[in-house]
Amino acid sequence: MSRPRRHKLWFDNPDNPSMTALYLERYLNYGLTLEELRSDRPIIGIAQTGSDLSPCNRVHLRLAERVREGIRAAGGIAFEFPVHPIQETGRRPTAALDRNLAYLGLVEILHGYPLDGVVLTTGCDKTTPALIMAAATVDLPAIVLSGGPMLDGWYQGRLAGSGTIIWEKRLQLATGEIDYEEFIEAAAASAPSDGYCNTMGTASTMNCLAEALGMSLTGNAAIPAPYRERGQMAYRTGERIVAMVEEDLRPSEILTRQAIENAIVVNSAIGGSTNAQPHIVAIARHAGVPIEPMDWQTVGYDVPLMVNMQPAGSYLSEGFHRAGGLPVVMKALLDHGRLNGEALTVTGRTMAENLAPFPAPDGEVIKPYEAPIKDKAGFIVLKGNLFDAAIMKTSVISEEFRARYLSRPGAENVFEGPVVVFDGSEDYHHRIEDPALGITPETILVIRYAGPVGWPGSAEVVNMQPPAALIERGVSALPCMGDGRQSGTSGSPSILNASPEAAVGGGLGLLKTGDRIRVDLNAGTADALVDAEEWERRRAAFQPVYPASQTPWQELYRATVGQLADGAVMEMAVKYQKVADSPPRD
């Protein structure tokens, strides 16, 4: 159902001629005409995330031209504007600080300017959730256009994936097998073109999940940035958003509980990033959809890993695209009753209708549902005296890890060991090689003060590397636990995103080096084996230690942010919903 164009409140309001004149005149001076601005032609924002600071999204500077042409061809008018940059690899102390800042900025833009709909140009990790979160809060017609992943990287005749090559080569660097220069060269080789990470890291995960949510055209997520189909996808996205405004199809009809469940299921099947947790929870909460920490296990655990892509598998972005990309995965999930096929999407049709034409998996890059890489590949949710909720990504549990820690006779999926505790990553780097720590293959490494408040922003530091002496003995990974996050490109089965974090009084803050921890994946528990009285004594004496804020936003971020299990949103923002329904005053 079409309704009056929102932009007319600015551009055609005879009740307030002087304001209308002011709103209009400056938009005329680069060639738009009075007739078109005052017409019913939809005005479409292009929320531009590309810039020199954001190389992962820089392709959008070029793609926006194709989006504009699509918008024009369909009868709309394009207004491109910048979004606060969020570059995962460049932003210190962490790009996670910028997700809520870009969200906040985009909400203000969408609310305060004469826009009828918006194209969300997504890519690098947090750009995707930031933009969808804002669209959910504002509830204007919105569609996602991914920039697409980079081409496959190659180094010394082998596939070299974003991030995964770093985790692999840093082990060799630690033991002196390669030097600093070779380490840098290998990293550079993994980034051969425009686009975001070519592994199933957080960027590919979140762009796949945007498609799974129904927020992009079918097949959008996997097309590599430099491929010709990417430009055509941009054009069709521009065309489609104009029709969405005519139909008044908004995020509130798409971002339903059904869609959120579809995203959780798809995340397991693709071997998606643990960062999907805070991002999908944040989108759900801004959309007003109820979600619980345990949903990740009840909805997502019992789903097979179908996509053979690093870090859980072998291939990279081009292989995934050639195998048909996400629609092939989703079609198989739908055929096995694992998706809510009736969920409405930006196409104006249901997910099941969108997926109908797609073929069965090729069997190599995308495995059949009934013969997957791994059964039950979702997240396990843990709780105990250390935290109320933390997750473990089971699709990356290696055979070596399973044999060492999870296969003891009589205690399958249970492990226990003494902990070494680090207060932030500087502490870890200073002390990890210290023989006095007495780290053995039984040790559990714990890092705290790495959550939203403690870091601030929450850092990707939980996948800690063992000391070189252990790596030389063949122990390439120890169990890790923390209140921070880890890179979506990491293959570590860490227990992470622990909420509440140490900085706000979570149990990890009470741990001491030498305490023992017991993790029971069957029961879903993780506990410090410290007697209750001693635990309470520590709680009474507890003083959090974390660095002071260095900027105004860090202080504001800390004052408003919630925990990772709750999406690490600005808690005060959740009550603002459908803000486009209350137009700003003149």
In the complex, the residues that contact Mg ion under the rule CB under 5 A are 88, 460, 487
Give whichever of 203 and 564 is closer to ligand FES, judged by the CB atom: 203
Q: Of 195-203, 249-257, 430-438, 565-573, which segment contacts ligand FES by CB under 6 A?
A: 195-203
Tell me which H or E stretch contains 210.
helix 202-212
Residue 259 touches ligand FES, criterion: CB under 6 A:
no
Q: Which does 151 bind (CB under 5 to 8 A by kind): ligand FES, Mg ion, none?
A: none
Q: Which does 487 bind (CB under 5 to 8 A by kind): Mg ion, ligand FES, none?
A: Mg ion
Task: Determine the Cα–Cα distance for residues 204 and 252; give it in Å rounded to an integer.
Answer: 24
Q: Sign (positive/negative) of CA torsion 494, 296, 270, 500?
A: negative
Residue 527 CA, distance from chain mean position: 28
Residue 581 one-letter amino acid? D
Task: Determine the Cα–Cα distance for residues 341 and 334; give it in Å rounded to an integer.
Answer: 7
Cα angle value 246/252/254 (rounded, 5°): 80
Give whichever of 347 and 489 is closer to ligand FES, judged by the CB atom: 489
Asked if residue 283 lies in contact with residue 99, where contact means CB atoms within 8 angstroms, the answer is: no
Q: Which does 197 bind (CB under 5 to 8 A by kind): ligand FES, Mg ion, none?
A: ligand FES
Q: Looking at the DSSP assignment, which residues form a beta bridge with residue 517?
A: 417, 528
Q: Which does 162 bind (CB under 5 to 8 A by kind): Mg ion, ligand FES, none?
A: ligand FES
Minimum distance, C-beta of residue 202 to Mg ion, in the bound complex (Å) = 5
Minimum distance, C-beta of residue 459 to Mg ion, in the bound complex (Å) = 10
- Report residue 430: phi and psi, to 5°: -70, -35
Residue 197 touches ligand FES, criterion: CB under 6 A:
yes
Residue 152 touches ligand FES, criterion: CB under 6 A:
no
Residue 201 touches ligand FES, criterion: CB under 6 A:
yes
In 289-396, which ranges are continuous DSSP H helix?
295-300, 317-322, 326-335, 351-355
Minimum distance, C-beta of residue 360 to ligand FES, in the bound complex (Å) = 30
Q: Which does 89 bind (CB under 5 to 8 A by kind): ligand FES, Mg ion, none?
A: ligand FES
Q: Of 42-50, 196-204, 382-390, 397-405, which segment contacts ligand FES by CB under 6 A?
A: 196-204
Q: Which does 423 bind (CB under 5 to 8 A by kind): ligand FES, Mg ion, none?
A: none
Q: Of 9-17, 104-112, 197-205, 326-334, which segment contacts ligand FES by CB under 6 A?
A: 197-205
Whether the ω angle into residue 500 lies within 30 degrees of 0, i.e. cis, is yes
Residue 156 one-letter amino acid? Q
Residue 125 touches ligand FES, criterion: CB under 6 A:
yes
Residue 98 touches ligand FES, criterion: CB under 6 A:
no
- Candidates 89, 193, 350, 476: give the one binding ligand FES (CB under 6 A): 89
Q: How far is CA 513 from CA 282, 439, 493, 530, 541, in A?
A: 34, 11, 21, 12, 17
Minimum distance, C-beta of residue 563 to ligand FES, in the bound complex (Å) = 24
Q: Which does 196 bind (CB under 5 to 8 A by kind): ligand FES, Mg ion, none?
A: ligand FES
Q: Contact letters (x/-) for ligand FES, 275-314, by CB under 6 A?
A: ----------------------------------------
Minimum distance, C-beta of residue 163 to ligand FES, in the bound complex (Å) = 7
Sequence-distant (6+) residues with CB within 8 A of 413 are: 406, 520, 521, 522
Minimum distance, C-beta of residue 150 to ligand FES, in the bound complex (Å) = 8
Task: Determine the Cα–Cα distance for residues 389 and 397; give it in Å rounded to an integer.
Answer: 19
Minimum distance, C-beta of residue 202 to ligand FES, in the bound complex (Å) = 7
Residue 88 touches ligand FES, criterion: CB under 6 A:
yes
Q: How far is CA 580 from CA 83, 93, 116, 259, in A?
A: 19, 33, 10, 22
Q: How far is CA 527 from CA 157, 229, 388, 531, in A?
A: 45, 50, 11, 11
Minimum distance, C-beta of residue 502 to Mg ion, in the bound complex (Å) = 21
* Closest by CA position to 134, among listed 265, 225, 9, 45: 45
Residue 196 touches ligand FES, criterion: CB under 6 A:
yes
3-state secondary structure of 158: strand
Minimum distance, C-beta of residue 371 to ligand FES, in the bound complex (Å) = 30
Give whichever of 39 and 51 is closer to ligand FES, judged by the CB atom: 51
**C-beta pairs of 425-428 under 8 Å, 24+ apart in sequence:** 425/450, 425/459, 425/461, 428/461, 428/464
Give whichever of 204 and 268 is closer to Mg ion, judged by the CB atom: 204
Residues numbered 47-76 forming contacts with ligand FES, rule: CB under 6 A: 56
Q: Which does 219 bind (CB under 5 to 8 A by kind): ligand FES, Mg ion, none?
A: none
* Conformation bin of residue 458: beta by default, left when phi > 0, alpha when psi is -120 to 50: left
Sequence-distant (6+) residues with CB within 8 A of 184 are: none
Give whichever of 256 and 277 is closer to ligand FES, judged by the CB atom: 277
Give whichever of 191 and 390 is closer to ligand FES, judged by the CB atom: 191
Task: Please report the beta strands in 94-157, taking only residues with DSSP state E, as ranges in sequence order.
Answer: 117-122, 142-146, 154-155
Q: Of 193-201, 237-245, 250-258, 551-559, which segment contacts ligand FES by CB under 6 A?
A: 193-201
- Which stretches of the chain bind ligand FES, using CB under 6 A? 56, 88-89, 124-125, 162, 196-197, 201, 203
